Amino acid sequence: MTTGQPKARSTIHALLRRGVVALILLTGLAVGAVVDAGSAGAQSGPYCSPFGSSVQDGWGPCSAAPNIAVTTSNAGSIGGASDWYLKLTDQSGASAACSSDPKYRGNWVEKTGGCGQFCFDIRIIDIPYAPTTVIHPSFNIYGSPGMRADYYANLPATTDAGSSPGWHHICAPVRLTQPGENLPSDSGGHWQIAGSAAPNVLWNQIITNVTQVQLPVDFTPQPSEVVGYDNICLGPGDCGDHSSGGGTGASTDCLKDMKAAVKCNPDGTYTLTTNGAGSAGTDVTLTSRTPGVTVVPQQQPWSATMTWTLAGAKAGQAVTLTADATKLGGGTAAGTDSCCSGEIKITMPDCPKPVDVKIEKTGGTSPAPQVNVYAFHLTVTNKGAAFTGNNVITVTDVVPAGMTFTSASGGPDWTCSPPTVAAAGTLTCTYVGAGPTAPNQALSTINISATALGAAPFPPFTNCATVAFTPASGLVDANTVDNTSCVTVRKAALCPTPLVPGPTAGSCVCPQGTVLLGRECVKPPQQACAAPLVPGAAAGSCVCPQGTVLLGRECVKPPQQACAAPLVPGAAAGSCVCPQGTVLMGRECAKPPQQACAAPLVPGAVAGSCVCPQETVLQGRECVRPQQHACAPPLVPGAAAGSCVCPQGTVLQGRECVKPQQHACTAPMVSGAVAGSCVCPQGTVLQGRECVRPQQHACTPPLVPGAAAGSCVCPQGTVLQGRECVPQRAAPQLPFGLPNPEAPSVPRSGGQPAPAGTK
């Protein structure tokens, strides 16, 4: 501006005039061109997706592209630990996330009040195979079957390893088109149908009957891309005058491209972010036209992105702001400035009341008559919005030097550990009570008992407690000024040096390991003991060596006590007992009398028992020798009761017990381990009529392969006799249930006959 010349300002009051004024309507939050942090809270509008630790708000794998993991995360979010976003992880195959939530279905033109925009924040978290790949974000909307429109953003985006990292804000215009008019587009991007932005009659049909929204994640041929989406909202927006196809007015350098976004602040104020305020100007002034609402700062130098603080606004309130932009020297005449004005209309979002907990520590007085014993009391109060309290609040208290926490308890609502905390240790208490906690609710009190013993001087003790939300809770305290509270206590010096307070209240003692000599605390000297005495365990005592007692001036072993006969000294010192095996009867030691047993019984080994004499058993009222079972000769009684067997070394043949004969085997066969069996020599098997080393072979009939490799045996139910397999014969029954040894033996597994005489 030339010195001395007046500053020219042109004010334009008409709204929605091309290239002059931008009318910005915000329902909920997310509106803007590129806003990195300004839309962190944009999840509370009527057509927005609120995300939480386990809340995906209806977003999931698309039926036609299901190869995707859909979760939520707050790692690297826009708004910090309490801000969650939709996290999509690509897998092999077609991958995309879809929502058919009612808020996104239907007529978008009506839902946005005639014209609006669909906005979201996107971050390319990872492209493992190509981290610097440039992506142009996009999304798709579907109408009736076979109808789809795609929006492509102009701005480039990459992972953090690329040139365009971080979060990017995308807004796609939503409005009807006139016959012959191209699909909607703006400086941020453009719509397409079937790959073309040319006029298309399907556009108005799709935008007035949206059935599904699709967010892509599969940007490269390789799988495993990870993408974050946040602040997804459908709402009103500035569509400008599109009657002739888009802004070509005279004042193209003013406010027509200005966008705005608003977010909630913990203290109840709002942050307004403005972007793209036209060409580089000099300053911008923002003034509230809504009573009670103020803007700070009111004026600031122009920049591509500016932030303002709005105070006094209420949720749901329609706030109108006037924006005045000035460009020094930008006027049409020399020495004049260019100026323009516009309105920003905002519907303030319904922000949750911020959470805020406060702690207060009291106490520290020693209860009479005790000294150096203290009691502290911790009270936590919810000063902010209600929240679920279970396991989300912790209280920590560091024990000062010279002090010990002997106990801590907060009733059923707090768990405190450890039970005893020494100096420099930390007491931690977690609130486990049920929630939610109401505003201004005081939680149950934590009571701490402590002691502080030590030598003078006695400095004051400052003890502080701190309350905080756990990181896992996702809650952020809006006011940390009241999160710490301290008390200071002083110990009374009741004992003169060198004495220290003793274990008994009011007592003074020497430090441990010392004794008082005059006015000093010294280590006790070792006392000299006259022989044969030695120093005892008690300080200053003299005792006899272990195992001896003092008799006169001597240490001797204690004498045995004299016992009157027939008693003798017992095991216990000074006791007299009868000799072993006798008992005291009157004045005599005698064997205990036997109990009388009715004949033929005699006293048994157990005191008071009566049994038959040895080698006899009781039958009725008589003690008789047990009789052997009668066996028909030549059989004799066997080991099992009632059994009859042949004498050892013989076997039963018919009715005779004879020595078993070896069965004659035809060469090359030899007698087997089983009586009467013929087998090949060890290490060979029978092939035809020869015994050869085992090979995989067929057996000569009537033999068949056995269970053992290379063996040939008779078919089941037959035994080998000579070179024939003959049927087994049934064994005739003998007296006493004995088997007939002449009967053919039953083959074991593998076809080998069992040994004679076995069962």
Q: What percent of the chain has pLDDT over 70?
A: 75
**Other beta carbons less than 10 A from residue 625's beta carbon:** 11
- Tell me how far the alpha carbon of residue 435 is from its chain's centroid: 22
Residue with tokens 């669909």: 118
491 pLDDT band, cuts 50/70/90, is low
d(CA 235, CA 490): 63
Kindly tell me if the per-residue pLDDT of 421 is higher than 60: yes
Question: pLDDT band for position 332 (50/70/90)?
Answer: low
**Is the model's pLDDT at 242 over the cut of 70?**
no
- Please tell me the predicted confidence (pLDDT) of residue 309: 94
pLDDT category of residue 440 using cuts at 50, 70 and 90: confident
Closest of 132, 115, 329, 331 to residue 234, by C-alpha: 115
Residue 172's CB is within 10 A of a number of other CB atoms, namely 26
The first and second tokens of residue 335, run together, are 């020495």
Asked if the domains at 7-23+241-351 and 34-236 fall in one CATH topology, the answer is no
- The token pair at 343 is 């309105």
Q: What phi and psi, each to the nearest 5 degrees, are found at residue 213?
A: -115, 140
Residues 562-606: pLDDT tens digits? Answer: 777 888 877 766 677 788 878 777 678 887 776 678 888 888 776
Three-state DSSP at 737 gives helix
Residue range 623-652: mean pLDDT, rounded: 77
Q: Which residue has the higher pLDDT, 710 or 250?
A: 710
Per-residue pLDDT at 457 exceeds 60: no
Question: How much is the pLDDT for 247?
Answer: 26
Model confidence at 740, pLDDT cuts 50, 70, 90, reads very low
Structural domain spans, the chain? 7-23+241-351, 34-236, 357-489, 664-728+738-759
For the residues 330-334, what does the mean pLDDT come to? 67
Q: Which of 300-309, 543-552, 720-729, 748-757 has the lowest average pLDDT?
A: 748-757
Closest listed residue to residue 400, CA positions, set 476, 480, 489 = 489
Region 718-740: what's the mean pLDDT? 65
On average, the pLDDT of the chain sits at 77
Backbone angles phi, psi at 489, to 5 degrees: -125, 155
Structure tokens at 143: 């109408």
Third-level CATH fold of 34-236: Jelly Rolls (2.60.120)
**Residue 361: band (very low, low, confident or very high) from pLDDT cuts 50, 70, 90:** very high
Alpha-carbon gap, residue 230 to 551, rounded angstroms:
97
Which residue from 256, 219, 253 is spatially nearest to 241, judged by alpha carbons?
256
For residue 73, give the nearest of 218, 226, 252 by alpha carbon. Answer: 226
Mean pLDDT: which of 184-188, 203-207, 566-570, 720-724 is highest?
203-207
Residue with tokens 């279970």: 390
CB 148 within 8 Å of CB 191: no
Per-residue pLDDT band for 41 (boundaries 50, 70, 90) equals very low
* pLDDT band at residue 352 using 50, 70 and 90 as cut-offs: low
Helix H or strand E segment including 262: strand 259-264
Enclosing H/E stretch for 206:
helix 202-207
Name every residue whose Cβ is closer than 8 Å to that of residue 437 and which is 6 or more positions away in sequence.
Answer: 382, 386, 387, 388, 389, 443
What confidence category does residue 471 fall into, taking pLDDT thresholds of 50, 70 and 90? confident
Q: Which range is least confidently modeled, 153-162, 284-293, 494-503, 704-713? A: 494-503
**CA dist., res. 706 & res. 680, Å (int):** 14
Q: For residue range 270-314, what is the model confidence (pLDDT) as tens digits?
A: 898 887 545 567 788 889 999 999 999 989 888 878 899 999 988
* Per-residue model confidence (pLDDT) at position 95: 93
Residue ranges of the alpha helices (H) in 202-253? 202-207
pLDDT higher than 70, residue 737? no
Residues 6+ apart with CB under 8 A from 747: 713, 714, 716, 717, 718, 719, 753, 754
Name the DSSP class of 83: -
Chain centroid offset of residue 444 CA = 28
Question: Model confidence at 211, in pLDDT bands (50, 70, 90)?
Answer: very high
Q: Are 323 and 344 in contact (CB under 8 A)?
A: yes
Higher pLDDT, 134 or 39: 134
Neighbour-count burial for 224-241, b at 16+ CB within 10 Å, e otherwise? ebbbbbbbbbbbbbbbbb
> Mapping DSSP to helix (H, G, I), strand (E, B) and coil, where does residue 72 land?
strand
- Please give the full DSSP string across 311-326, using - where no structure is assigned: ES--TT-EEEEEEEEE
Q: Is 457 exposed, middle or buried (0-12, 13-18, 19+ CB in 10 A)?
A: exposed
- Whole-number pLDDT of residue 276: 59
DSSP, collapsed to helix, strand or coil, labels residue 207 as: helix
Q: Write down the architecture of domain 7-23+241-351 according to CATH.
A: Sandwich (2.60)
Task: Enumerate the H helices of 322-468 as residue ranges.
Answer: none
Write down the CATH number for the domain with range 357-489: 2.60.40.740
